[in-house]
Amino acid sequence: MGRKPRVALVHDHLVQDGGAEQVLRELMRTWPDAPVYTAYFDPRKMGPDFRGKDIRTSYLQRLPLARRFYKWTMLLLDGAFRRFDLSEYDVVVSSASAWAKSVRTGSDTLHVCYCHTPTRYLWSDADRYIRETGYPGFLKSAFRALLGRLRKKDLRAARGVDDYVANSRYVADRIKRYYGRPAAVIHPPVDSSKFGPTAKRRDYFLLAGRLEPYKRCDVVIEAANRLGIRLIVMGNGTDRARLEKLAGPTVEFTGRVSDAKRKQLFAEARALVNPQEEDFGITVVEALASGTPVIAFREGGAREIVTAKTGAFFDKQTPDVVAAALRTFKSERYRPADLLERSKDFSASRFRARLREHVHRTYQASDQGPRRHADRR
């Protein structure tokens, strides 16, 4: 290769700061000169890492209230990303769980998609999404009627990707099932530097993350109620009001907390309880980096993180099964050194090195022949 390849990054949206945005941070550190294309950007909700960066938004940024009520613009997102013309770049790396992969690229551009999951509300979670969304009944009916058309658009977008990278084997299987494409697996980055063990262990279990219905925090709260054990619920979300009504006197809600408080709550817990089926499970790694073992539902990405040396599993998302797991759990069985060592497998530096090498190798290979998946119509 002669000159340095021109790289662009694409991300679904920047209106909330979660695991996908942590991936984008590391993409920006890997390719610091690359602009970021996204549907919309709300700097008030994003951290300092995004200030002063070259972030290029779609026309949706100019729509009144679009950033606040971004879920209502769902039907516009494919078209918004297709308006971006990235044919001037040699490499496009999209960070996508929805429509970021819809961007148009040139026939000589390599499009690598780091896929957090095939679009959940179109495929694996379509029924639950329609059932649990806050949309009025007539909009739910309209969405059901449009589901087939949206899936066709999503498949068209998926065909425009040259190379897929999944954040877990669990997601790689889903990419194969819905898009018919193989995917390399590179686990997402977890910033372990913000966490660490403590000699002080307190008598409580911890739930951490966004409080959304699919996270199944309710089964842990009901289990804690039955056992009369202390449970701390850290985080906010649309399901918080319902969960607070469900909670008994031994359950405490903290909402969002400072980094120092978050570090303390992780490190002093008897265990983190992970009741949801996640694509990966960043909070699970954060617990391990805190020297805290994990009790996890035996599905999704948690199976790729938790080992016999770092935690235990339960097999059903019911209060009875979770209560049994909490009752019998012995945190003293787990060595902090084993937990910390396991967390290092998911470091940000390892993620950057693996992804940089994968993209470089794929770009070199693509330079030797035509693209296999270049349907960019």
149 and 31 assigned to the same domain:
yes
The kind and range of the H/E element at 115 are strand 110-115
Q: What percent of the chain has pLDDT over 70?
A: 91
Domain identity same for 171 and 205: no
In a domain, 151, yes or no: yes
Looking at the structure, tell me whether residues 22 and 168 fall in a common domain: yes
Are residues 76 and 176 located together in one domain of the fold?
Answer: yes
- The reply to whether 1 falls in a domain is no
Q: Edge-to-edge, what's the strand order for the sheet holding 271-274?
A: 251-255, 231-234, 205-208, 271-274, 294-297, 311-314
Q: Which of 58, 78, 60, 57 is nearest to 68 (CA)?
A: 60
Same domain, residue pair 172 and 297: no
pLDDT at 70: 66
Query: Does the pLDDT of residue 140 top 90, yes or no?
Result: no
This prediction has a pTM of: 0.85
| pLDDT mean over 150-178 | 95
Looking at residue 302, what is its pLDDT? 95
Per the model's pLDDT, the better-predicted residue between 340 and 68 turns out to be 340
Work out the end-to-end distance of the chain between its first and last CA atoms, rounded to an integer number of angstroms: 28
22 pLDDT above the threshold of 70: yes
Q: Is 376 contained in some domain?
A: no
- What CATH number should be reported for the domain holding residue 56? 3.40.50
Q: Is position 146 within any domain?
A: yes
Indicate if the pLDDT at residue 370 is higher than 60. no
- Same domain? For 158 and 228 the reply is no
pLDDT at residue number 329: 96
- Does residue 75 lie within any of the structural domains? yes
Q: Is residue 375 part of a domain?
A: no
Model pLDDT for residues 30-47, shown as the tens digit of each residue: 999 999 999 999 998 888
Res. 192 pLDDT band, cuts 50 70 90: confident
Are residues 160 and 288 both part of a single domain?
A: no
The pLDDT value given to residue 141: 78
Is the pLDDT assigned to residue 374 strictly greater than 90?
no
Query: Is 259 part of a structural domain of the chain?
Result: yes
Q: Are residues 80 and 206 in the same domain?
A: no
pLDDT in tens, 321-360: 999 999 999 999 999 999 999 999 999 999 999 999 999 9
Residue 191 has pLDDT above 90, yes or no: no
* Integer angstrom CA distances of residue 92 from 20, 87, 181: 17, 9, 18
**pLDDT for the residue numbered 1:** 45
Range of the domain at 39: 7-189+347-366
316 token code pair = 């059903």
Judge if 90 and 101 occupy the same domain.
yes
Asked if 89 and 109 touch (Cβ cutoff 8 Å), the reply is yes
Q: How many domains does the chain have?
A: 2
- pLDDT class for 71, splitting at 50, 70, 90? low
**Same domain for 361 and 333:** no
Interval 260-291: pLDDT, tens: 999 999 999 999 999 999 899 999 999 999 99
Q: What is the mean pLDDT of residues 2-29?
A: 91
> Two tokens at 11?
């991300």
Angle between the N-to-C axes of helices 336-343 and 282-289, in degrees from 0 to 180, rounded to the nearest 10? 130
Written as one letter, the residue type at 123 is W
- pLDDT averaged over the chain? 90
Report in angstroms the alpha-carbon separations of 371 from 28, 107, 160, 174, 343. Answer: 25, 8, 10, 23, 37
Same domain as 254, residue 170:
no
| Side-by-side strand order, sheet with 91-96 | 55-57, 36-38, 7-11, 91-96, 110-115, 163-166, 184-185
Quick one: 217 and 298 in the same domain?
A: yes
